[in-house]
Structure 1
Amino acid sequence: MTGKADVLILTSSYGGGHLQASRALMEGLQALAPDMSYAIVNFMAEVSPLANRLVEVSYRRAVIHAPFLWRQFYHLTSRYNNPTSGWQCQLNRLLLFWARSLLALYQPRVVVSTFPVPAGVMGELKRRYLMSLPLVTIITDQTVHNQWLHPATDLYLVGSEYVRRQLVYRGIEPERIAVTGIPISPAFAARRAPLSTRSELGLDPHLPVVLVMTGAEGMLPQAPKLCRHLACLPSPRQVVVISGRNTSLRTKVKAEVDGCPWPVLVLGFVNNVEAWMAAADVLVGKAGGLSTSEALARELPMVIIRPIPGQEEANTRFLTRAGAARRARDVHEAVAMTEEILQDPEIARAMRRSAAGIARPSAAYEAAAMVLALSKESYGSTLVAN
């Protein structure tokens, strides 16, 4: 999309969650202010499509094949990040040209970032008095990596009181923080009946549903083995696997579950995950900020296996401490935990209650309302210097 936009949303395709949050926010904005214009831009792809693709591939390989290296990178970049000096300032300076080009093209009234890099670059523009627009940063995990932070940011929208406290601890003024929840599709704000949803999706309404989610990019290499064990246990169930855009993983899962006694439905990327979650009794998979926020909105018990070091490990700690999830060390433990939740209604009810206590199903609307309030107050010029 090109042309003027009242609200410019800058994001990234790394991992999928940042883009999903952007789309959810746009849905909320369009519902609350349909007469205004909005645009979502993959910031790094605008800078260099080739470099963006290389980083995507490198990130995927690192978290799957060398998670210990990703953990080191994640913690080092957070520990030593300073938005006004060092390597972060150099990176921001390199990207100022593209940031100003986007502002000139879209002429927004407010800029929202759902990824750390554009948040820092736009903050640097404002720090240098090259623009004076309100800047909003939406943190898409239940933790704070320091790269999200910049002193020129006007408003941080966060997923929980836990993240708000982390920001205050890092010196962010409380009035610059709002707990809205991580934006998820407004469809999650509407309740669904599990049995009728199963029928609608072509599932057996009377069989328990185990939902396995591998993330948008299918970054759960244990999925084939996991699904085979889940579908071969004695007690009745049906397994639904959402393998994202990873067609190779989808093929491997199908081959692995062939001949299992219980039905297994293997899907690729879906646009109605809110329906599949409504139909499920338990979710087994990764701990992305978006997918876990969606599961919370559906009050769906979670079993988390192999969280990505850094952000997903932090998400897992948040969820397990709240009682909404359990962390499994391996496939066998994940299967045992899933079976326990399916067989013990009291455990399932307790986890659902815990999820309900921290869920924010209307996060997209709440975040959109905060952004719109800033846009109405915005009288800043996009560019004030050459």
Structure 2
Amino acid sequence: MARRFLVLSARMGAGHDAVAAELVRRLEGSGHRAERVDVLDLLPAGLGSALRVGYRGAVGRLPWTYAALYRAFFRPAAGPRPGSAPLAALAEGRLLALVRERPPDAVVPVFHLAAQLTGRLRAQGRLGVPCPVVVTDFVVHRQWLHPGNDGHLCVCPAAAAELRRAGGRGVCAPGPVVPPWFTGRPPGAERWERELRRAGGGRLPVLVSSGAWGTGSGLAGTARALARAGYLPVVLCGRNERLRRRLARRSGAWALGWVTELPGLLASCAALVDNAAGQTAVQALAAGVPVVGYRPIPGHGAEGVRRMAEIGVTSHARDERELLGALAALTSKGAVREQRIATGRALFTADPAQLLAAAAERAGPLSPGPGAPPR
């Protein structure tokens, strides 16, 4: 039977929207109806934009302020903190109006503020459909947690175990949500390979990610270090045109703006240097491209980079020497590279969209899924 889903995302970078879009694609491909809504648009006029601008400025220009905020309000804790996101209350009216207008069979948060919003309404008895949360972080900070929600789908077993210890229910670990065109031989790979050969003159291309907003520390230094070591640094500058121009002039990198054919580019590179443990990193894992975390952005980025290395799907380089050593091992054909690729792909154990559809069919919490049984 076809069901209707409301997927709550947020334009904080591009990662949450990428997950939401892929969930919508999969659900609609299975015959359901699905709609994506930005939770920031449900806040009073102007507030969502202000939050987005403030977050972007803090991460990009004042990272120490975001690190302090993360420690104070987001850091993983022993249990949920209901009400720890008072902003959620400001979005309740618009979400309930949307639910009345187009009644869904499930509301699916893929952003932590959205999880606080649905959890509050479920706990108050004001939202009568299941709300399973798709957690996109490798370390589950406490803003993802609210006891009112009906389950949590995690990107890895370690995150699922952490969430269970914090009191989460209906917990499973189907793996990251990544479009299928990141696996196999994606369209555009041949064109990118020609471009990289032309730009690199035989040097191995290494992709450097700075997210949709082009943020991160020492990106020019990272590019120069890679170039000195004989690699072709290919830096993804997102929508930060100023960064792209600066790196193109000074670092010896091939600096790119927003790339629409990322699957083909990823498949054509020998490795990814990542600073956020976000969607680009898990897309690389799906593509079979080894990942090295280096100079992560503060807060969830630093926590995620460490966690991915701890569970063995990436490396974490703490300095330039470790970065180049990790790349030397991972870009060479052999057992080290193959084992790392296999470990990364092993995260993808089930289809999160199928688990969401089953929860909507039962009109209740998630049932036991991949990983340890939920509580």
| Shorter-chain TM-score range | 0.7 to 0.9
* Cα 1:43–1:200 shift into 2, 3 Å: same
The alignment-based identity, stated in percent, is 25
Does residue 370 (structure 1) correspond to residue 358 (structure 2)? The answer is no
CA contact (8 A) 2:277 2:293 kept: no
Partner residue of 1:27? 25
CA distance in 2, matches of 1:322, 1:197: 33
SS of the counterpart of 2:143? Answer: helix
Which of 271, 293, 317 is the equivalent residue of 2:282? 293
Does residue 135 (structure 1) correspond to residue 121 (structure 2)? The answer is no
Which of 336, 357, 360 is the equivalent residue of 1:350? 336
CA distance in 2, matches of 1:203, 1:358: 25
Which of 53, 56, 60 is the equivalent residue of 1:57? 53
Q: Which amino acid aligns with 1:141?
A: D
Instruction: Give, in angstroms, the shift of residue 270 of structure 1.
Output: 1.6
CA contact (8 A) 1:229 1:335 kept: no
* Cα 1:325–1:110 shift into 2, 3 Å: same
CA distance in 2, matches of 1:305, 1:177: 30
Partner residue of 1:73? 69
CA contact (8 A) 2:39 2:91 kept: no
- Count of aligned positions: 359
Partner residue of 1:191? 184
* Cα 1:373–1:193 shift into 2, 3 Å: closer
The alignment's TM-score, normalised by the length of structure 1, stands at 0.83
Instruction: Give, in angstroms, the shift of residue 279 of structure 1.
Output: 0.9
Which of 157, 163, 174 is the equivalent residue of 2:153? 157
CA distance in 2, matches of 1:267, 1:295: 17
Instruction: Give, in angstroms, the shift of residue 246 of structure 1.
Output: 0.7
Instruction: Give, in angstroms, the shift of residue 113 of structure 1.
Output: 0.4
Instruction: Give, in angstroms, the shift of residue 200 of structure 1.
Output: 5.6
CA distance in 1, matches of 2:43, 2:187: 44
Q: Which amino acid aligns with 1:327?
A: H
SS of the counterpart of 1:202? Answer: helix
Once the two structures are superposed, residues 24-66 of structure 1 have per-residue CA deviations (whole angstroms, 9 ceiling, x without a partner) of: 2122223333xx3211111112324522222222212222333
Partner residue of 2:197? 204
Q: Which amino acid aligns with 2:36?
A: I
Q: Which amino acid aligns with 1:12?
A: A
Instruction: Give, in angstroms, the shift of residue 339 of structure 1.
Output: 5.4
Once the two structures are superposed, residues 65-111 of structure 1 have per-residue CA deviations (whole angstroms, 9 ceiling, x without a partner) of: 333332221122136885445x53x4333322122122123321111
CA distance in 2, matches of 1:375, 1:54: 34
SS of the counterpart of 1:108? Answer: coil
CA distance in 1, matches of 2:280, 2:18: 10
Q: Which amino acid aligns with 2:296?
A: P
Partner residue of 1:91? 87
Give the gaps of 5 or more residues in structure 1. Answer: 380-386
RCO comparison, higher one (Cα < 8 Å, 6+): 1
Partner residue of 1:120? 116
Partner residue of 1:384? none
CA contact (8 A) 1:221 1:249 kept: no
CA contact (8 A) 1:305 1:334 kept: no
* Cα 1:373–1:210 shift into 2, 3 Å: same
Partner residue of 1:326? 315
The alignment's TM-score, normalised by the length of structure 2, stands at 0.85
Q: Which amino acid aligns with 1:306?
A: R
SS of the counterpart of 1:61? Answer: helix
* Cα 1:67–1:198 shift into 2, 3 Å: same
CA distance in 2, matches of 1:13, 1:231: 33
CA distance in 2, matches of 1:51, 1:116: 17
CA distance in 2, matches of 1:244, 1:227: 16
CA contact (8 A) 2:274 2:281 kept: no
Give the gaps of 5 or more residues in structure 2. Answer: 365-375
Q: Which segment drifts farther, 17-26 or 98-107?
A: 98-107
Instruction: Give, in angstroms, the shift of residue 308 of structure 1.
Output: 2.1
Partner residue of 2:273? 284
Please, what is the CA RMSD of the aligned residues?
3.0
Which of 11, 14, 17 is the equivalent residue of 1:16? 14
